[in-house]
A and B are shown apart, each in its own frame.
Chain A
Amino acid sequence: MKQLFDKYKREFIVLLATIAMCAIFTIMNANFLRWSNFLTILQQMVLNSILAVGMMFAIITGGIDLSIGCTFAITGIVVASITVGGGNPFIAILAGLIVGALLGAFNGFLVNNLKLQPFIATLGTMSLYRGIAYVVTGGQPVTNVPDSYRNIFNGKMFAGIRYYIIVMIIVFVIAYIILQKTRTGAYLYAVGGNEEAAKLSGVNTVKTKYIAYIICGVCASIAGLVMLASLGSAESTAGTGYETNAIAAAAIGGTRMAGGRGTPFGTFIGGLMLAVLKVGMVVINVDSFWQYVVTGIIIIVASYFEFIQQDVQAFLARRKQG
């Protein structure tokens, strides 16, 4: 147990802060504690969390992916077009995931083969992918997605829980397994921690970074699939600005922006905290403009905390050594 706490110290602290936030909202409005409200929070966090966990993979390798909002939109358009045209919904889902993987792989190509800075490379593809979405649709939304598709994600199980909640949980479990249990996970952390050292240890850094960007793209696609199911239509403007929320969730959850550190658990808590904040502010009737102010403060405080934590660790290490 102590070991678990040591490993996830940062995550537990964010979780405690989130619980404290819930307590404050409950004191201000007892309705906050309702089951339906809890479901709202979960639904609220689904898209951002799935995007954030993918983003986390890119960040762990020392990169970033600004194009996820556009991958998200393109996936919606592709899947909507297939299903509206009468295609098999499962084939449409597969096609959507392939689109995400390809767009992610192209980011990987720019970063690995052309050696572009990830920020600039994905800033470029952000515009490029968005442009493709506009060109393909002519700016028109694709509407009337059939229920046969929508129910796959949107259907309710018990107690009002929709399937996409389960999808989110599966995504996080898979992310956890990849990062914590497989060789690829160890390589991802190694590349982000010190790329040159990883290379000189025999790690295939190019392949590792490709994997990170592909996973990031696939996660964006999964989020796009969920979005399409709940809205029933796809728009080329969908997902604009989502990359910043995803970065925020990952950062609050303790993902190190320079790479090498970050856990799915932390990103999940980060996404949860942002959702609690958003829903809680509505419940206690705070003007939605203030949400931006509060979110901003939380990101800054969380980053500062990360900074302090490193100092404390270095201090303890020195004391331990004598």
Chain B
Amino acid sequence: MGKAVEFTKINKYFPGVHVLKDISFSVEEGEVHALLGENGAGKSTLLNILHGVYPEYEGEVKLHGTKVHFRNPNQAIVEGKISKVHQETLVVKDLTVGQNITLGYEPLKGGLVDYAKMNKDVNEILKDLDCNFKAEDIAATLTSGQMQMLAIARALYHKSTIISLDEPTASLSQKETEALFKVVKKLKKDGVTIMYVSHRLEEIFQICDRATIMRDGEFICTLDVAKTTRDELIHAMVGRSVAAVASRLKPCRKQDEVVLRAEHLTGDAFHDVSFELHKGEILGFFGLVGAGRTETMRAIFGADKRLGGKVYIHGKEITGSWNSTKALRAGIGLIPEDRKTQGFLTLSSNIDNIAISSLEKYMKGAFVDPKKTRANAERYFKEMDIHPNDPDYLTKNLSGGNQQKVILSRWMSTDADIIVFDEPTKGVDVAAKAEIYRLMEDMVEEGKSLIVISSELPEVMGLSDRIIIMCEGHINKEFNRDEFKSSDEMLDYAIGGN
């Protein structure tokens, strides 16, 4: 059998970051090949190169022995016969299944769309895949499992010989997952090559032949799944020693005063979450994407609705209608995961971005005094060493790390003493990362209490006094700092083990 995909010395740079380093490996024709690694290991970047999303890279990609270089995803699908099924399937909900599958390449008759042929062709594919929906159905009526099938059907419509599945089961039920696996096995029998990205290790053992592991943009190894144990796999994925990245110089000493307590908190994406946060501690929340950590914190902060459960802040239960303004007044701050859409105000200068949550401090009578907001911003610019050193600059034009420092300044300007950091170092370079860790430790020294949501194990393990591990909307395990042993164990709890 030949090689379906061959990567040779792939390098990829983003401004200031070397994201893929000399990646070389190959995927056999007709195998199910897993691509594994932590968040940020470079799996998505590599798939994006393969599927023409990133046309600029160094190195060589061969499909079935022929060198290719796709300029866009469409070219990859049509000319390369290679399709990607996204984590969040891209579906135009108002169109029919048939229209979605043939979108852009509809069968024509005399210049008009030949719907009879479209539906006939599509229904044949759907029947082949054993789907319980028809080409004529409106896409909006499908479940997420059916939409996944729709995406696979689209790949087959384009006669793809290679299909990538990126976290295909992330939003599927157990039954839908089984149906998907049946399809994967059938495709394999028909000679289609599958590249499979998933965090759920048991799936890898169920359906994959081989697995390639990536870490920090590097190729680590390709393993024969049948000859590998789960522990070996996890160890290869996590690899490095934890303490080298983030570390606590002064771990919290006493943990007696409870500043925040959640009891049986329930919302759309989480259920029965109970925990306590102590004064002066850093409480880590680890879990995979979609574990419900962000949603839990947003509910506590009043950004989303709570469906049940109680929250006590400084011993006082929150009652009545709860919103972010009240949360701020009660002393809670939240530094969101996505700086661009949730963090800074797009059209505002650094001064205004820092001042927005603490305007009552800069008043002169009934009016906001611009001198005071400026003085406040200048103070933090100096303390945090923000570049370029221009408080009038628009925050959106700063680099990720500096933007994060601006948002940190915003919350340090308030009186909030409970601060939730959601992925605080996402998209932040190494130097700024270290500074943010130092600032967090300073905040704890001052008696503030922090919650850190992170998908980076070294980060949570390095920083936290305690770690709570969430999995699929509930708390699966809690560790005290002296119980932190191996990252393998943590990852195990995050993927549902116990």
The interface residues of chain B lying within 8 Å CB-to-CB of A198 are 345, 356
Q: Which of A165-190 contact B (CB under 8 A)?
A: 177, 181-183, 185-187, 189-190
Answer whether A197 and B344 are a contact pair too, CB < 8 Å, given A182-B366, A186-B352, A204-B323. Answer: yes
Total A-B contacts with CB atoms under 8 angstroms apart: 92
Instruction: Identify the stretch in B58-66, B76-84, B335-343, B469-477 within 8 Å (CB) of chain A at 4 or more residues.
Output: B335-343
A203 near B325 (CB under 8 angstroms)?
yes
Most chain A CB within a 10 A radius of its CB, from B341, B352, B397: B397
Which of A197, A203, A256, A321 is B341 in contact with, Cβ under 8 Å?
Answer: A197
B325 near A202 (CB under 8 angstroms)?
yes
**How far, in Å, is A205 (CB) from chain B's closest CB?**
8
The interface residues of chain A lying within 8 Å CB-to-CB of B324 are 199-204
A196 near B341 (CB under 8 angstroms)?
yes
A200 near B343 (CB under 8 angstroms)?
yes
A106 to B224 Cα, complex, angstroms = 66
A317 near B397 (CB under 8 angstroms)?
yes
A190 near B397 (CB under 8 angstroms)?
no
B347 near A260 (CB under 8 angstroms)?
yes
B323 near A186 (CB under 8 angstroms)?
no
A111 to B166 Cα, complex, angstroms = 38
The interface residues of chain B lying within 8 Å CB-to-CB of A203 are 324-325, 356-357
**How far, in Å, is B342 (CB) from chain A's closest CB?**
5
The interface residues of chain B lying within 8 Å CB-to-CB of A34 are none
A192 to B342 Cα, complex, angstroms = 13
Interface of A is mostly: helix
A317 near B394 (CB under 8 angstroms)?
yes
The interface residues of chain B lying within 8 Å CB-to-CB of A115 are none
A16 to B333 Cα, complex, angstroms = 46
Q: Is A194's beta carbon under 8 Å from chain B?
A: yes
Q: Is B334's beta carbon under 8 Å from chain A?
A: yes
B327 near A190 (CB under 8 angstroms)?
no
Answer whether A183 and B342 are a contact pair too, CB < 8 Å, given A193-B348, A200-B334, A321-B388. Answer: no
Which of A181, A193, A318 is B345 in contact with, Cβ under 8 Å?
Answer: A193
What 0/1 readout, one digit per residue, does chain A (136-170) give for beta carbons within 8 Å of chain B? Answer: 00000000000000000000000000000000000
Most chain A CB within a 10 A radius of its CB, from B344, B356, B360, B367: B356
**How far, in Å, is A2 (CB) from chain B's closest CB?**
12
A187 to B359 Cα, complex, angstroms = 10
Sample of 13 more A-B contacts, CB < 8 Å, known A198-B356, A202-B327, A203-B356 = A182-B368, A186-B352, A189-B348, A189-B352, A193-B346, A193-B347, A194-B344, A194-B345, A200-B301, A200-B342, A204-B323, A260-B347, A321-B388
The interface of chain B, by Cβ under 8 A from chain A, is 301, 303, 323-325, 327-329, 333-334, 336, 341-348, 352, 355-357, 359-360, 363, 366-368, 388, 393-394, 397, 410, 414
A-B contact pairs, 26 of them (CB 8 A): A182-B368, A183-B359, A185-B368, A187-B356, A189-B347, A190-B345, A190-B348, A190-B352, A193-B345, A194-B342, A194-B344, A194-B347, A197-B336, A197-B342, A197-B346, A198-B356, A200-B301, A200-B342, A201-B324, A201-B328, A201-B356, A202-B327, A203-B325, A204-B323, A321-B388, A321-B397
